[in-house]
Chain A
Amino acid sequence: MRLIAENLGGERGGETVFSGIGFALEQGEALIVTGPNGAGKSTLLRVLAGLLPAAEGRVRVEGGGEDFSSVAAAAHYLGHLNAMKTALSVEENLGFWRAFQGEPGLNVEEALETVGLGGLGHLPFGYLSTGQRRRASIAKLLVSRRPVWLLDEPTAGLDKASEERFAGLMKGHLEDGGIVVAATHLPLGLEGAKALRMGIVS
């Protein structure tokens, strides 16, 4: 499958943040979006996911078949917020998303083991540290299958070892024919990824 953005423009509060962005990603390709604060990296990811309407242009997936016919259906979106409930345990949170999102992937214990949180599943999510919360949120990408990962600052708050583990997860996802679009300030350790540098529209 392919993820294609054509002449994409986004706006925030009526002001154009970026315009004329286009790319096409094949299976196994990654796009790293960089740029200064306010360049519209997060806006771009939200437009890609369909959470914000595009001011111009369009995004589509090709060859996703029945299951992944639209970008929203084909994508995992990992935003700044972790989308986990602090009052529920990590297992309950992940179990809920696994059931709700459909297309189940790893089971909850395996996913937690993969992000290095094995044995912590019974703890309320609110008890975890910032980095552990981020890792639990990353485990959310693993419990249900989606070919496209839209990642907004995925490694914020992670330590060195976890960053490397996450780089390994992304590589594995790409080798399985996935697509990654990541907005970041930090190097993610993905060799051969395409780069998109966004500037500030004056």
Chain B
Amino acid sequence: MLALFLRDIRLSIRAGGGALIGVIFFLAVIATIPFGVGPDLNLLSRIGPAILWIAALLACLLGLDRLFQADREDGSLDLLVLNSDRQTLALTVLTKCLAHWTGSVLPLVVAAPLLGLFMNMEPLGIGATVLTLLIGTPAITFIGAAGAAVAVALPRGGLLISVLVLPLTIPVLIFGVSASYGAVADPAPFVQPFLILAALTLFLAVIGPLAAALALRHGTD
């Protein structure tokens, strides 16, 4: 499993891996917002956490279609499924998800504080948003893995995956954003939505890979 994790990390940082594409997309969206919304600093800082979360969500979805499709195209997926007696397929999927998150999504979390400055957010708000992104984005990857596994046989399944996955990510988005707000806006709570967010991630870490493994096992042809 460690070998699979390292292989996928290597692939994501080598040419054509697409680790940077998500970050560039994230940067592009966030950098565009102030031009569209206008120079109202209070407004920007108020919508900042939500914008960071929405942009991070979309950037997460961007690379998900390649999660299994790249392996399918070169025949690796057959061997990953074939070896499921030795390496449980759900754990293989979980490992691929973690590698994908580390390679493609973690850079977003790292870039988020810088982009928070674009949105005129205060340090505490930036810290809370980064923390919720760190805890919440794995959930998006786990849901996305199930979508990617269902759509693995479809050419140009990327958009379909986004459409399939987006409704399921809404709870993650809601609790992520409300926890981020809770840290800065006083009456709103931080701890409760944050704990629910963590619970969502843990729950989906189990359900997502299991569903994806089931889809992959029946999707080979």
Q: Is chain B found bound to chain A in the same assembly?
A: yes
Give the residues in chain B near A77, CB-CB below 8 Å: 78-79, 82
B40 at the interface (CB under 8 A from A): no
Q: Is B88 an interface residue (CB 8 A)?
A: no
Map CB proximity to A onto B161-173 as digits: 1 under 8 Å, 0 otherwise: 0000000000000
Q: Are A87 and B87 in contact (CB under 8 A)?
A: no
Residue B42 CB within 8 A of the other chain? no
B residues 1-18 touching A (CB-CB < 8 Å): 1-4, 6-7, 10-11, 14-17
Q: Tell me how far the C-beta of A82 lies from the nearest C-beta in chain B, rounded to whole angstroms.
A: 6
Cβ contact within 8 Å between B10 and A88? yes
Q: With A and B bound together, what is the CA distance between A73 and B85 in angstroms? A: 6
Task: Given the known inter-chain contacts A52-B221, A92-B7, please indicate yes or no for A72 contacting B76, CB distance below 8 A.
Answer: no
A72-85 vs B, CB cutoff 8 Å, 1 = contact: the mask equals 11010101111111
State whether A81 and B74 are in contact (beta carbons under 8 Å apart), knowing that A51-B81, A96-B3, A99-B3 are contacts in the complex.
yes
Interface contact A87-B17, CB-CB below 8 Å? yes
> What count of chain B residues pass the 8 Å CB interface test?
28
A99: chain B residues at CB < 8 Å are 2-3
Q: Does B192 contact A (CB under 8 A)?
A: no
Q: Indicate whether A102 reaches chain B with its CB closer than 8 angstroms.
A: yes
Shortest beta-carbon distance from B84 to chain A in Å: 7
Q: A50-B82, A96-B4, A101-B83 are in contact. Are A84 and B74 (CB under 8 A)?
A: yes
B residues less than 8 Å from A79 (CB atoms): 75, 78
Interface of chain B, helix or strand or loop or mixed? helix
Q: Do A72 and B84 touch across chains, with their CB atoms under 8 A apart?
A: yes
Of the candidates B3, B14, B84, the one whose C-beta lies within 8 Å of that of A95 is B3
Q: Which residues from B are CB-within-8-Å of A85?
A: 7, 11, 74, 76
Chain A residues bordering chain B, tally (CB within 8 A):
30
* Interface-central residue, B2, B15, B85, B87, by most chain A CB under 10 Å: B85
**Interchain nearest-CB distance for A164 vs B (Å):** 25
B11 touches A88 (CB 8 A): yes
Q: How far is the CB of A147 from chain B (nearest CB, A)?
A: 14
Residues of A within 8 A of B74 (CB): 81-86
Nearest B residue (CB) for A85: B11
CB-defined contacts of B17 to chain A, threshold 8 Å: 87
Contacts of B76 in A (CB 8 A): 83-85
The verdict on A51 contacting B82 (CB below 8 Å), with A83-B74, A83-B75, A96-B7 known, is: yes
Is B85 within 8 A of A70, CB to CB?
yes
Q: Closest Cβ of chain B: how far from A137's Cβ, in Å? A: 9
> Are B3 and A72 within 8 A (Cβ)?
no
How far does the alpha carbon of A69 sit from the alpha carbon of B86 in the complex, in Å? 11
Within 8 A of B (CB), among A83-138: 83-88, 92, 95-97, 99-102
Q: Are A102 and B10 in contact (CB-based, < 8 A)?
A: no
Q: Find out whether the CB atom of B86 lies under 8 angstroms from the CB atom of A92.
A: no
Known contacts A73-B85, A73-B86, A100-B83; decide if A83 and B3 are in contact (CB<8 Å): no
Residues of A within 8 A of B220 (CB): 46, 51-52
Q: Looking at B6, B11, B76, which has the most chain A CB atoms within 10 Å of its CB?
A: B76
> Quick check: A101 and B75 within 8 Å, CB to CB?
no
Among B68-124, those with CB < 8 Å from A are: 73-76, 78-87
Residues on the A chain within 8 Å of B75, using CB? 79-83
Measured CB to CB, the closest approach of chain A to B134, in angstroms, equals 28
9 contacts between A and B (CB under 8 A): A51-B81, A73-B86, A77-B78, A81-B74, A81-B75, A87-B11, A88-B7, A96-B6, A100-B83
User: Which 9 A-B pairs give the minimum distances between C-beta atoms?
Assistant: A81-B75, A99-B3, A73-B85, A83-B75, A87-B14, A83-B76, A96-B7, A51-B220, A102-B86
